[in-house]
Structure 1
Amino acid sequence: MKNFRAIIVEDERLPRLSLLQKLKTYHPDIEVVDCCESYEASLTTILRHRPDILFLDIQLQGHTSLELLHELKEAIPLPHIIFTTAYSNSEYLLEAIRFAAADYLLKPVDVSDLAKAIRRIEERDATTPSSASQSQAQSGKFTFRTLNGTLYVSKDEVVYVRASGNYSYIMLAEGEEIILERLGIIEGKLGNSHFIRAGRNLLLNRDLIFKVDRKHKCCILRTPAGREYSVELSAGGMEAVEKQ
């Protein structure tokens, strides 16, 4: 059985602690890496930890879970979502479930319902591998949509990728290309074994990271041929690189 990493997003303290305790007691194979009570905190920690499962309160103070999911989807492939809610017939809940292909649990969360939701995720995770990603990984080449056609590159050729709205700039060992895909899609193709998310808009090749310069707030990447690239880092990006 796969060990999942999870984040709980719940703005009420007692339901948050209750769900955490039930997961620890009945599902010790699920590692809860963080618990959040606000939209802002949850966005930051989800992008940082990249959980397999997100337990998400349907309503957050001042925001909706759909707002959070829309923003996340622009940056990363969405994790498995389990909504938690006190309402069973909300049209908004149905819209959220359709958007995220998710399950939901009524509060207070029943342990048997929790077990069923987790079992469905295990089954879904086991039966829906990314065949496209697998075939690309096996061939050693990844395909990306460009302005004039398709780019075919191996992971070793990609130095870094920087997002810019609906498209991204991919820096290669030999030149730069504009990719007509969001960073989350590109990251899903390349995987996180060889690439690290250094902030919301930047993806770095782990194998090419040479030095982190705190004084100038940048990261130096060096190709096997000795060519160096300097990339500006945010505080969060610098922390992510140093913790890899």
Structure 2
Amino acid sequence: MELRAVIVEDEKHSRESLKNLLEEFCLNIEIVGLAESVEEAVSTIAQLKPDVVFLDIELQTGTGFDVINRLNNIQFDVIFTTAFDQYAIKAVKFSSLDYLLKPIDLEELQNAVEKARKKKNQDVYKKQLETLMLNLKQRKPTLNKICLATSDGFEFIEVNNILYCKAEGSYTKFILKNKETILVSKHLKEYENLLFEQDFMRVHNSFLINLKEVKKYIKSDGGYIIMNNNDSVSISRSKKEDFIKVMSALMDT
């Protein structure tokens, strides 16, 4: 299946570099349009109806998200590009959407193209984009919803509904307030980085907890935490002091 692609990038060098990488190293992809501003991107995409859009997040005339906001009935995949691993990229990760950091790694580019080549459930994809736009509207650095990729598809979860996350080998199990559990094929470290600014803390190699859902801390038996659902969570000796400090600060806010 040949993919028709549009590149939205305001720097000529980056635009041409990505075009050359795609044409030389990615099979069955045709660059049908180039754009360097929000206005030009909206017009080009609406006119050409590509299969995939490589969308720079930071444009001189606005952002890639402005482009998404102004398009109706999105029927293409979006692969975001950026030179900065920043708040916007965290929002993209929360939505389980693809992104590429500049300078673009060839293997990551090829992987992103192949994922775009596989037909997605368009309704689910629209939900991912909606989740992204919702999170971007919130006051930084708060992110309200997270998209979890499971073996069955995607789950869209309110962050404040997560009690804690538990490492299950190379997988992560999410334990939610409604007693549901979700198993995701990503390492706990991935979610530690994503949820750090959402009042989550890695208190043990196996546990990442929502600090707002802590019921009590028990000092005996080496110390452990009781969550609001009465589950017991282990805490590492090296984490106890930081945990107490963070909880004290959280209570004062």
Provide TM-score, normalisation by structure 1. Answer: 0.47
Which one has more relative contact order, counting CA pairs under 8 Å at least 6 apart? Answer: 1
Q: Which structure has the larger Rg?
A: 2
